[in-house]
Amino acid sequence: MNVTTRASGSSRGRGGGRRWSGPARRTSVLLACMAGAAGWGAGDRASAAPAPSCRQAWMPTDAPAFCPWRTEAPLPAPSSYFAVAASGEHVYVLGGFRFDATTNQLVYDETVRHGKIGADGVIAAWTPEASFKTGRSGLGAVRLGKCLFVNGGSYSVNGTPVYADDTQSAPVAGDGKIGVWKTSPHRLKTPRSNHTLLGLERGQSRYLYAVAGVTQLGQDTVHLDTVEVAKVGEDCQIGEWVIANYHLRGGRSTPQALMVRDNLVVIGGWGDLDLIDVFDDVQVASARVDGTPGPWQVGLGRLPTGIYGHATSYHDPGRPGGPVLLGVGGQPGTGAYGTWISYAYVSTGPALPAAIGPWRIAPSGQLAVGRAGHGIVSYRDRLYVIGGSAPGGQFLKDVISSRFDTGEPLK
């Protein structure tokens, strides 16, 4: 396990508040942790024959094997704690924030950057799409049906933090282009940031889930254990948000949440107590007939370390080699930035969470620069890592990718 520690000018990732100390002043802002969820986990099944593996003789067969990282087209500007949504070869990076050294100000983005993965796996460029209303970090985003959704997040007005409760939607054309954004009249019951927005399509029904996050209640910054659910119509219209009856075991922000086989899977995150509530657990709740999550169960397997600000993906290769959960980077504590990739196989027999195997650190794929607040996407046989923040108060705009094979769990 390798950790990159930060230098003097620094960013401190935290579930409830983010402290960024630049060269001139210290500014308190809110974090976002939407590098992940639904979009990052949408690894499409590969249909073409796999390329030759980069697995070396010393590598175990029951671990993913990653090829050397390749540079893709960078984002137009550095960004961290944005949201990522993906559908097939289309990747969307929404919102986020960065520090502008020329003005000594934090900049919150309302921009949507669209990258298309080519047949050769290359992202050649990022093109701007229609912007949503009000720049923010910590927002959630997901593609569901023919619509792209964003909600929640945080920004500041005259130095005062604001937690958003709105949900916006835009139609997505067949070529991936985004239409005009519209704001739903139905607001989240609890304004929240640093959450995950998930989508589920089952039969003729579609549901959105706002999972965990952080909010402000009076003078208290409170990490949430709640999940809000809303039904979605064919025309992108969103129904009323409802707080699910069953709560996570431990409120948290900057977790990663994925939809795996109609189950909500929540991985890690940061709770109310600094340096103590850095979670290493994996919790699972199945989506019931009415779309609401059932009781939460804690998986037996623990992450290699407590982590927050990480990015995760569920990748099903659709051929020999097991479906696998991948976790990249993140912060195991203040000032430390992970460079490793962790993984756990998901067996096809038992139900979740029993189907999730033990978590390990992959023997290859180490990042050159540790990071948090980034995004990942797995598509066909490649893993893409996008932007984020790094030691020394850096905001990143790089995009890198690695071809990999999942390996196969031991029988």
Which pLDDT value is given to residue 373?
A: 98
Q: Give domain status of residue 205, yes or no.
A: yes
User: Does residue 411 sit within a domain?
Assistant: no
Number of domains in the chain: 1
Domain range holding 57? 3-405
- What pLDDT does 15 receive? 36
Question: Residue 367 falls within a domain, yes or no?
Answer: yes
**pLDDT value of position 126:** 98
The reply to whether 245 falls in a domain is: yes
pLDDT for 351 equals 95
Residue 410 lies inside a defined structural domain of this protein: no
pLDDT at 288: 97
pLDDT of residue 41: 39
Provide the residue-wise pLDDT of the chain in tens; the chain has 411 residues.
Answer: 433 332 323 333 333 334 333 333 222 223 333 444 333 333 444 445 567 889 999 999 999 999 999 999 999 999 999 999 999 999 999 999 999 988 888 999 999 999 999 999 999 999 999 999 999 999 999 999 999 999 999 999 988 899 999 999 999 999 999 999 999 999 999 999 999 999 999 999 999 999 999 999 999 999 999 999 999 998 999 999 999 999 999 999 999 999 999 999 999 999 999 878 999 999 999 999 999 999 999 999 999 999 999 999 999 988 767 899 999 999 998 889 999 999 999 998 899 999 999 999 999 999 999 999 999 999 999 999 999 999 999 999 999 999 999 999 987
Q: Is 32 among the domain residues?
A: yes
CATH code for the domain of 259: 2.120.10.80
Q: Are 248 and 266 in contact (CB under 8 A)?
A: yes
pLDDT recorded at residue 217: 94
What lies within 8 Å, CB to CB, of 272 at 6+ separation is: 16, 222, 223, 251
